[in-house]
Every structure is written in C-alpha cells, then in structure tokens.
Structure 1
Amino acid sequence: MTVTKTITIVGGTGYAGSAIAREAAKRGHRVTSVSRSVPAEPNPGISYVASSVEDAGASIAGADVVVGAFSPRGANKGALAKVYADLASKAVEAGARLVLVGGFSCLRRSEGAPRMLEAESFPADVPAEVVAEALENLDVLNNLLADESGVDWLFVSPAMEFSAWQPGEDLGRYRVGDEVALFDENGRSAISGIDFARAVLDEIEQPTRHRAQIGVAY
C-alpha cells in the first residue's frame, strides 16, 4: 500500500515539473506546485502557489518530499545553485527528501569516465545557452556531492531527448541507471515527460537510492 505524501514541486508548471505534479496528483498525493504564476487551466488535484524564486523555499513547510524542477532560463539564469542550496537547507529543516531534476550532460558515457559536460569530446557546436544551463546543473550536482548537512537528496537526469519540443510517447516503461547514461539498441537516449514522471514518482514512493544521481531513459 502506497503511503500518501505531501509533495511540493518548485517549478511545477514547467515541462518536467507539470508532468511530475500531474502524476503525483493522479496517485493521490497532496501536491503543491510553486512557480512564478498560476496556470490558466489548473489541475484540480494540485494546489498552486505563485512565488518568486527567492521565496520558493517558504512553501515547503510540512512537505515530505521537495521536488526541484526549476529552469535556469531567462530572468532565472544563474540562480539555480542558490535556489537549490536554499531548498536543501529548507528540506533538512523539514525532514523532507530532496529530489532534483538534473541534466543529461551531468551523466557519464561509461563507468569512471568524466561527466559528459567535462569531457574533451563534448560537442563544440552546442549552443552557448544550453551549455550555460548544463553548467548550472553540474554546479548543483557538485554541491550535493560535497554536502555535509545530511539532506536526503536524489539528482535525476533525464535522457538526452527530453523537452517540450521532443515530448515523446507514453510507452508506460522506463529504465533507471546510475551515473552512466542509458542508450537503446539504436544508440538513442530518450524519455517522454509522462514516463520520466512515473520514474520520479516510483522513486518517491519506494526509494531505492539516497544521496545519489540516477539517469532515466528507455
């Protein structure tokens, strides 16, 4: 029997955050979505809070799980590490688990290899804004790896093909790896929003890893 949890999702109206929020509500959890604005068509199973990034941590009192799906784009550029450091501190105070949506390039190509973003083979033609966002995610991961507060964190890296522009299909399955990126038999790394959300919720309901990074793909 699944225990109902109180879940606060920071960035809960973005691509990853909204998928996680919907799946959590569908499973009967108490869900609060924190973002800069409330959606025009809110999900009836989700409570929405409009908040600035700086004040997002104030919304997690009483949460069992804090999910970070914040996107460091536009006006939020450069804020990810600070926002997540604050969430980690608030999670410790609340006794909550911290689950963060990370980036694909924070994974490794093989065991013991450098993280893709740090490898000499990292493609030089990747747009600068994409690299900047990836570097922010890597800063977050490195901060977690060096954490001494004892926060129960999980850094979840989606597959390479994962975005509103590559929504994928609802296949009802997924694979979970550790720090090494997962590819299918055709060399493709992809996951849909709904299947990624299922992976996150399955890990929230039945934790298998603590203070660790995982990757999710087909």
Structure 2
Amino acid sequence: MRIAIIGATGMAGSAIATEALDRGHHVTALSRRPRADAGIDRLSARALDIEDTASLPPVLAEVDAAVLTIRLAPGEESRLASLTRGFLDAAEQHGTPVLIVGGAAPLRSPNDPDRLLIDDPSYVPEAWKSIAQASLDQFNGCQEHRYNGWVYLSPPAILEPGERTGRYRRGTTRLLTDENGISRITAPDLAIAVVDEVESPTGDKHFTVTARTSDRTSTTR
C-alpha cells in the first residue's frame, strides 16, 4: 500500500512510519520539517504544512490511505478541529480513506459508562481540560463532516515512548485499563494497531487500544 502520514516526525507518526515500512508499504512522510532519514527505500519525506490546504489534495490523490497524527503547540489546541476539517475536505476530493490519531477525551469513562472521559476528573484533571476539549471537538467535527471515509483512534490515557511488544488490546468507545486500572501503550504498539486498521479496515468509526499484559484478548464496546 501507499500510505501518507501527516505528522510523521512526532512520537506516534514516527512509529507508524516505521511499522508501515517494516511491513513493506510505501510511506509518504509529511511534516513541517521532513524526516532526516529520507534515503530509506520506500520512504518519501516531504515538507507540508497542514494549514496549506491547497497542498493536501495532490498528496492524497497519490496514496491508498492517509494517517493524520498532529499535536499543536500549547495554547493552539483549539485549532485542531478546524485543521482536521480541512484535511477531511481534501481527502473527500479523492475518496482517500483516513485514520485520525486523536485523543482519549471522546471515550467513555471506565468508572461510569454514561460519562465521557473528559468529564471524569480521575482521568482528566482541570489542567488538562483544554487539551481534552480540543480532541473532543476534533472528534465531533469528524462526526459532523459530510465525508464518511474516516476512522478515529483514541489512544489510552498514557501514550509514551517504549519498546514494541507486538501486542495490544483493542476496544471501541470506552477507555481500556489493565487489572490495576492503568491505561497506557507505547507508540510502537499503537503503530501496530494503526497499520492493522489501515491494512484491514474493521468498519468501526471509533476505536481505542491499550497495552496487552496477558495472553487474553479483549474487545470492549
């Protein structure tokens, strides 16, 4: 497959690019500052500013799928929803399937299935509310957009650097935790879930993942 990754120099984006390349896919890595390892076979690194909406359609016309994984500077989080809408506008022009790596705020709380995670202070303290609201607005913007060719991935409460274990648990609309109530995953294991979904779409519009710490499998809806 030919996969475009917007935000390819970030923690998640870099891991997703590596996972896709390791599986034999052709990757177009897009970011404001291109990756330094552009000489790798099957990797094309380009400079792209997602705010330049005119530059998006030609890129998306060349690929089979695209992954959007961007994080904005502190104080600019409120722009995330509008930037994502512009990205979906561009994807719609060519019917490009897109996977958006967003935030955990749109998930249901494991403590109360009737409460969104953003409203559960045990997971989203007041200091994080603006960042959480940005991801909730992003998700709502996807739902309201006329283009339906998107999938939204909500990471667990903690997404961090670390090793690739090759294992993860997948759920849909409720935050997943382990037996100790911890919700976390490494970027390389998140990348496995991303490329799995890109390769074999499940039909879920919204899903989440977390680390898998035992041999049991788990899908929570």
TM bracket (short chain): 0.7 to 0.9
- Residue 216 of structure 1, aligned match among 201, 209, 213: 209
5+ long unaligned stretches in structure 2 = 212-221
Per-residue Cα deviation, 1:154-212 (whole angstroms, up to 9, x for no partner): 1101111203xxx23322100110110111111111111111000010111111124x1
SS in 2 for 1:54: coil
Distance in 2 separating the partners of 1:183 and 1:150:
32
Q: Is the 8 A contact 2:107 2:117 kept in 1?
A: yes
Residue in 2 that maps onto 1:160 = 157
Residue in 2 that maps onto 1:195 = 189
Q: Is the 8 A contact 1:176 1:214 kept in 2?
A: yes
Q: Is the 8 A contact 1:72 1:133 kept in 2?
A: no
Q: Please list, as runs of the form range in 1=range in 2, the aligned pairs for 1:22-171 lying within 5 A after superposition.
A: 22-42=18-38, 44=40, 45-55=42-52, 57-58=56-57, 59-74=59-74, 77-110=77-110, 112-119=113-120, 121=121, 125-127=125-127, 130-147=128-145, 149-163=146-160, 167-171=161-165
SS in 2 for 1:78: helix
Q: Is the 8 A contact 2:34 2:45 kept in 1?
A: yes
- Residue 198 of structure 2, aligned match among 191, 204, 212: 204
Q: Is the 8 A contact 2:61 2:96 kept in 1?
A: no
- 1:136 maps to amino acid: A
Which deviates the most, 13-22 or 74-83?
A: 74-83
Residue in 1 that maps onto 2:218 = none
- 2:117 maps to amino acid: M
TM-score when normalising by structure 2: 0.84
- 2:56 maps to amino acid: G
Is 1:8 aligned with 2:4? yes
5+ long unaligned stretches in structure 1 = none
Q: Structure 1 pair 182/21, CA: closer, same or farther in 2 (3 Å)?
A: same
Per-residue Cα deviation, 1:56-96 (whole angstroms, up to 9, x for no partner): 52432222212110112258543211221111111111111
Distance in 2 separating the partners of 1:70 and 1:92:
19
Aligned length: 206
TM-score when normalising by structure 1: 0.85
SS in 2 for 1:104: coil
Matched residues, percent identical? 33
Q: Structure 1 pair 37/201, CA: closer, same or farther in 2 (3 Å)?
A: same
Q: What is the root-mean-square deviation of aligned Cα atoms in Å?
A: 2.1
Q: Structure 1 pair 180/71, CA: closer, same or farther in 2 (3 Å)?
A: same
